[in-house]
Amino acid sequence: MFNAHHVKAALLGLAVGDALGVPVEFSSRNKMKRNPVVGMREFGVWSQPIGTWSDDTSLTIAAMESITRLKKFDDVDIMKNFVRWLRDDEFTANNDTFDCGNTTGSAIQNFMNGAPPDKCGITHEQSNGNGSLMRIFPAIFYAYAKASTDEEALQIVHKLSALTHAHPISKMACGIYYFIAAQILDGQNLKVSISNGLKQANEFYKNRQEFLDAVDVYRRMFKDDFAALPEDEIKSSGYVVSTLEAVTWCLLNTDDYKTLVLNAVNLGGDTDTVGAIAGGIGGLYYGVQQIPADWLKVLKRREYLEEMAEKFFLAIS
């Protein structure tokens, strides 16, 4: 049964995966093999203290705070929170906004320039970074709690994605993530959740004209032998398709939270976001008890994150 622990575990799992990846973002896979991440580090590429999470977690809690306060999904208010993050350093680990993606920044600027929320998101095919997938959990939980059909649930998920990333490829990535997470919330085994979630996503999107081209882009993930692909065929860039493939591949090839997020981060590339997205699902499935205590101990604003998760669950339940 869906409860507050699910939200807390997913949010902490996401933030920990994010913080593990922040110091080594943009590092090549070869560099990571020479000096792999084995625990929390400090400084690195962004010169941040140990346990610092980035925009992945910040934008997740920015959306959560809006839904919690209003007890509904309000795209204008969520975009106002995104502005508060970008301009005023709110919803951050150390009162310091860093690492804003180009598409996200452009969409927020569109809103600041007066565009309505449903017109702010970037629709160009070249703007399919992972910036909406990394912060989609609030919509997933809200849709799971409130929607009565897959169609209704996906409308909510797509709407949160489209505030910044409005192309079908980005919206579909968030939808695939929703179907997998919903299976976990239904109580299914992780591998079964991924298998069933991918099948549900394929069935949902293949009959919708808007998503026909996007379905082809994700076709490799729908094959039964996807988990058996060698690591060198898995990319871990900021392209949302590569990110989702890397996360799913790591989920299928590990059996505990710690190994999952370390494998995800040590793929190199967009380490914080791949780590965050893997960590979110990993936290949801494995629970807070599997997140190493020494990692949680140094995680910035842990109590704030836990309080946010609990208040968010009460607001939507």
What is the Cα–Cα distance from 102 to 83, expressed in whole angstroms?
Answer: 14
- Residue-level pLDDT at 99: 84
Tens of pLDDT, residues 250-284: 999 999 999 999 999 999 999 999 999 999 999 99
- Residue-level pLDDT at 29: 98
Please name which of 122, 126, 226, 136 lies closest in space to residue 172, comparing C-alpha atoms: 136
Q: Report, as an integer, the average pLDDT of 39-53.
A: 96
Tens of pLDDT, residues 284-305: 999 999 999 999 999 999 999 9
Please name which of 216, 114, 200 lies closest in space to residue 157, comparing C-alpha atoms: 200
Tens of pLDDT, residues 171-212: 999 999 999 999 999 999 999 999 999 999 999 999 999 999
What is the Cα–Cα distance from 62 to 79, expressed in whole angstroms?
Answer: 9
Q: In Å, how far from its chain's centre is CA 268?
A: 17
What is the Cα–Cα distance from 154 to 284, expressed in whole angstroms?
Answer: 19
Please name which of 15, 2, 62, 3 lies closest in space to residue 283, comparing C-alpha atoms: 15
207: how many CB neighbours lie within 10 A of its CB?
10
Residue 16: which residues within 8 A CB-CB, separation 6 or more?
261, 279, 283, 291, 295, 296, 299
Count of structural domains within the chain: 1
Tens of pLDDT, residues 117-172: 999 999 999 999 999 999 999 999 999 999 999 999 999 999 999 999 999 999 99
What is the Cα–Cα distance from 70 to 238, expressed in whole angstroms?
Answer: 32
- Residue-level pLDDT at 107: 98
What is the Cα–Cα distance from 304 to 306, expressed in whole angstroms?
Answer: 5
CB 130 within 8 A of CB 238: yes
Q: What is the largest CA-CA distance in the chain?
A: 49
Report the chain's mean pLDDT, rounded to a whole number. Answer: 97
* CA neighbours closer than 13 Å in the CB half-sphere of residue 215: 15
Q: Range of 183's domain?
A: 4-316
- Residue-level pLDDT at 143: 98
- Residue-level pLDDT at 225: 96
CATH number at residue 134: 1.10.4080.10
Is 84 a residue whose pLDDT tops 90?
Answer: yes
Is 308 a residue whose pLDDT tops 90?
Answer: yes
Tens of pLDDT, residues 225-237: 999 999 999 999 9
